[in-house]
Structure 1
Amino acid sequence: MVLKAWSAEHLPLSTSSNEACKLYDAILTQYVKWRNDETLGGVEGCISAIQAADPNFVMSHVISTGLELVSTSSSTRLNERLASAVRRTVELANSQDISPRERLHVKAMELFSRGHFPKACDVWEDILVDHPTDLLALKFANDAYFYMGAQIQMRDSVARVLPHWKPHMPLFSYLKGLYSFGLLETRLYDQAEKVAMEGLALTPDDAWAVHSVAHVYEMKAEVDKGLKFMESREKDWQVSDMLASHNYWHWALCFIEKGQYEAALEIFDSQVFRCCKATGSMLDTVDACSLLCRLEMEGVCVKDRWLELLQVTQPHTDDHVTLFNDLHFLMVSLGAKESGTSQRLLEGLQELAKEPGDNLTHQLAGTIGVPICQAMMEYDQGNYNRTVDLLLPLRYRVVNVGGSDAQRDVFNQLLIHAAMKSENKHHQKLGRCLLVERDAMKPNSPLTDRLMQRALALHN
């Protein structure tokens, strides 16, 4: 029985329904694999089925509501159905005799729902001290660290539990991909690649481990290696429908790096935008925003694509779940020349910054979110001096908006472009200094070389 199997792993589930346990297992597995198993009706189908199997099973509510929360596609501030689901989970937990571990899960989910990401992570980590094989706690914490830009924590969280995992355990190999990502986000690229490859040797279709290797090649500007790797393994990672579009995004970055813009646009049209339109997934959506922004900075005309993407992002203008999402939505409203939406997003952040409470996004809104938004708006208006003045002091704090180094590089590029275009001679020198620094960290980057040439052409 699945129920007994969970207990045998010292992760007992408070339900008498074996079917509910099976479905919990299925949801967790799909979450870890980034893949909807259509034979089970996908994650959505399993969530419906688990609630039918045992409507009062607390961990079924934790995983289903938790997954919606960590998707960052909806805010409990605005979405009463989601807020109600959180309250229902808390009420169920309070009315039942559940295990301390399950009670902590409820607490962490409730904290996350209020935007108190650091405290939620503390609670998930408390679970992992006593239950290092609790994969839901590990994954939820990993996601939350990612949204905070907490790179070291993301790495160390997995490192602490890895020795407790044995090769015979279900999903063991997927921890390699998780750990690899933490390693690469802390610039340990060679180790990250090695660990990811160990995972792929065990599970060739682990899309997250593939994604980790793609990051390594991106950060080291090993473009041809990256292209070859993504292409050679495309059939493996394509099946992970929740991550495939993001892996295509990495593929497109390789093309942008090489200056092959048509190939990047082809991926945008056929994969990234198509997926974001179909799924509404935040990962797919921010990828689409970022690709267009990068292409425009490279001087590529993206035509009506901003307007099409605005249809996806505009409904999220007031969400303010993460600053990372907000900044990407702003790229679109600026690109689409939808000034009212841009202004609304900025003013919404300014308002939330006044009384942020425990919400991390709102706490950072005033000091980081608002000035970056203003910098982007100034850049859009051609006020490059002002863009530099706003962005430069935040260079080393941009990490706090969340996302990966590769994703946040769009803001590095924005600062470089602004400095190069500025009329201020000091800014122009700064732009060249930033390019020298970029070259030192990422040698042999064709994109950096192009920017260097452009800077010299502009200022000589």
Structure 2
Amino acid sequence: MADEDILGNVTSPLSASALNGVNDFVSGFLSYERKAANVLVAADVDPEALLANIYAGFSWMFLEAAGAEAQARIYLDRARKVQSRANAREGLLIEQLSHWVAGDIGRVQAIGETIVDAFPRDLASVKLHQYFSFNRGDAPAMLSIAEKARAASPDNPHLLGMLAFAHEQLHALDTAEVEARKALAIKSKEPWAQHALAHVMLATGRVQEGVQFLDEAQRGWGDLNSFMYTHNWWHKALFHISLGDEAAVLDAYDNHVWGIEPDYSQDQVGAVSLLARMEVAGIDVGDRWVSVVDKLVSRASDTLQPFLTIQYLYGLARAERAEANQLMLAVEDKALTAEGLDRTVWQQVALPACRGVLAHARRDYANAVRWLSVANPRMQEIGGSHAQRDLFGQLLLDAHFKLGNWTIARQMLEMRRTWDPDGMPVNRMLRQVNLELEKQPLKAAGRSA
């Protein structure tokens, strides 16, 4: 009888320990649990375990850092040596890893589509395809790939979580909530469904409900990897910002958002984003930028993903580090040398966004307005979620506010109140804006007198 993974996908022959490593990767990847990393040990113990080595290569590529390709190539080369044993699905996975290491994400995605069409129970491939689509801001593709797998796994909570988040990114909030609650009815601790539901609650102004929901959910986060653990706490902190609960925001940051895996890209940008949002909301963050920026210095030439780079840059500039200039030069070079779709994104979106956040961090609010006004309408193209990209809207609002552009600031604040009607920072800023606007006729009358 052929070996199968935990989802029923046939594998080439594997030892018991290698199969356990593969299953830990598949289940851990889908559930954002630390056990996914066990596949690295399994692959090192058995260099001829084909699928374990493929997934070990994937694991290195998820690091999103310079040097990951070299490490992933070690496992790719091992898989190549025993490729004659590969079944059809594994052969496609080898090619997918090869193109990922080479940086050809378009080809990675095309292969992923082929895999899911032929092997719809391969939910790890569905998840991987969503990962790349998310990084490119392609929510329709996120939904399409998950729908392809629905018939084969209609009651899988991880797939339902993927469907929920795809719908949320498409602004289909009611459908997103239905799918998320289906997932949670099957597996109450499914973290991606919890995450999708937190997005829905944030987008619909259900702030107190969001706090209560995540208060309960966080009891089951003990096995999560650093990304999912810190990111769901990041969402909880956003609710606390809206409520004006500074102590809870700082507690979330200090104990749950920053410091879990401080060398990891997603943990770093989560910290940068939350510190920036706290400052826009009027919260004194003290010296908290220091420990983050100490880790960002190594990102001074990192242009792997524009969504990450922009936030690295903001952190470096906000802490007044000279490396911000180095990273800005790297962005300008990337805008000139990138190819195809990447070149369009870097030239027309990432470059002006970087100029805008750099200006804001340096308190050059006029240039922050200038460049963020160019970039923000197209920010979806750099990836990230609506909630994550809202950082750039907040920085633009803050720049207008600091410049005294009261009419524009009022329009932006009123727009924000459509999804955060009771938010304390929003309403506090709006009160000040309205007071300033009320003064203008009085000032004009004084001048005419």
TM-score by length of 1: 0.88
CA contact (8 A) 1:200 1:206 kept: yes
For 1:189, which of 157, 173, 190 is the aligned residue?
Answer: 173
Once residues 157 and 289 of structure 1 are traced to their aligned partners in structure 2, the CA distance between those partners, rounded to angstroms, is 31
For 2:293, which of 290, 299, 310 is the aligned residue?
Answer: 310
Corresponding residue for 1:47? 40
Once residues 408 and 14 of structure 1 are traced to their aligned partners in structure 2, the CA distance between those partners, rounded to angstroms, is 42
Corresponding residue for 2:429? 451
| AA at the equivalent of 1:160 | K
| AA at the equivalent of 1:134 | D
Report the alpha carbon displacement of residue 301 of structure 1 after superposing the two structures with TM.
2.0
CA deviation profile, 1:258-282 (whole Å, cap 9, x unmatched): 12222201111111112143xx332
- Please give the secondary structure, in 2, of the residue aligned with 1:96: helix
For 2:385, which of 399, 404, 421 is the aligned residue?
Answer: 404
Corresponding residue for 1:39? none
Once residues 299 and 133 of structure 1 are traced to their aligned partners in structure 2, the CA distance between those partners, rounded to angstroms, is 48
Report the alpha carbon displacement of residue 372 of structure 1 after superposing the two structures with TM.
0.8
| AA at the equivalent of 1:214 | A
Report the alpha carbon displacement of residue 8 of structure 1 after superposing the two structures with TM.
9.8
CA contact (8 A) 2:73 2:101 kept: no
Corresponding residue for 1:92? 81
Corresponding residue for 1:61? 53
Q: How does 1:59-458 map to 2 (within 5 A)?
A: 59-72=51-64, 74-75=65-66, 78=67, 81-82=70-71, 84-85=73-74, 88=77, 91-92=80-81, 96-167=84-155, 172-242=156-226, 243-277=228-262, 280-338=263-321, 340-357=322-339, 361=342, 363-422=344-403, 427-458=405-436
Aligned pair count reads 437
Once residues 232 and 396 of structure 1 are traced to their aligned partners in structure 2, the CA distance between those partners, rounded to angstroms, is 36
CA deviation profile, 1:159-201 (whole Å, cap 9, x unmatched): 221122154xxxx221111111111111111221121111111
Report the alpha carbon displacement of residue 23 of structure 1 after superposing the two structures with TM.
1.9
Report the alpha carbon displacement of residue 286 of structure 1 after superposing the two structures with TM.
1.4
Report the alpha carbon displacement of residue 250 of structure 1 after superposing the two structures with TM.
0.9
CA deviation profile, 1:194-236 (whole Å, cap 9, x unmatched): 2111111111111221111111111112110001111122212
CA contact (8 A) 1:323 1:361 kept: no
Once residues 311 and 150 of structure 1 are traced to their aligned partners in structure 2, the CA distance between those partners, rounded to angstroms, is 33
Once residues 127 and 20 of structure 1 are traced to their aligned partners in structure 2, the CA distance between those partners, rounded to angstroms, is 22
TM-score by length of 2: 0.90
Report the alpha carbon displacement of residue 109 of structure 1 after superposing the two structures with TM.
2.4
CA deviation profile, 1:265-324 (whole Å, cap 9, x unmatched): 1111111112143xx332222111111010111222212111111122221222322111
Report the alpha carbon displacement of residue 87 of structure 1 after superposing the two structures with TM.
5.3
- Please give the secondary structure, in 2, of the residue aligned with 1:107: helix
CA contact (8 A) 2:205 2:419 kept: no
Report the alpha carbon displacement of residue 446 of structure 1 after superposing the two structures with TM.
3.7
CA contact (8 A) 1:24 1:50 kept: no
- Please give the secondary structure, in 2, of the residue aligned with 1:275: coil
Once residues 147 and 28 of structure 2 are traced to their aligned partners in structure 1, the CA distance between those partners, rounded to angstroms, is 22
* Residue ranges of structure 1 left out of the alignment (5+ in a row): 37-41
CA contact (8 A) 1:70 1:143 kept: no
| AA at the equivalent of 1:260 | D
Once residues 111 and 288 of structure 1 are traced to their aligned partners in structure 2, the CA distance between those partners, rounded to angstroms, is 31
Classify 1:113/1:455 alpha carbon distance in 2 versus 1 (closer, same or farther; 3 Å): farther
| AA at the equivalent of 2:73 | S
Tell whether 2:5 aligns with 1:27. no
Once residues 311 and 255 of structure 1 are traced to their aligned partners in structure 2, the CA distance between those partners, rounded to angstroms, is 27
Once residues 350 and 62 of structure 2 are traced to their aligned partners in structure 1, the CA distance between those partners, rounded to angstroms, is 20
Classify 1:8/1:430 alpha carbon distance in 2 versus 1 (closer, same or farther; 3 Å): closer
* Residue ranges of structure 2 left out of the alignment (5+ in a row): 440-449
Once residues 350 and 299 of structure 1 are traced to their aligned partners in structure 2, the CA distance between those partners, rounded to angstroms, is 32
Once residues 414 and 107 of structure 2 are traced to their aligned partners in structure 1, the CA distance between those partners, rounded to angstroms, is 39
Once residues 69 and 122 of structure 2 are traced to their aligned partners in structure 1, the CA distance between those partners, rounded to angstroms, is 30
Classify 1:16/1:35 alpha carbon distance in 2 versus 1 (closer, same or farther; 3 Å): closer
Corresponding residue for 1:4? 3
Once residues 211 and 8 of structure 1 are traced to their aligned partners in structure 2, the CA distance between those partners, rounded to angstroms, is 23
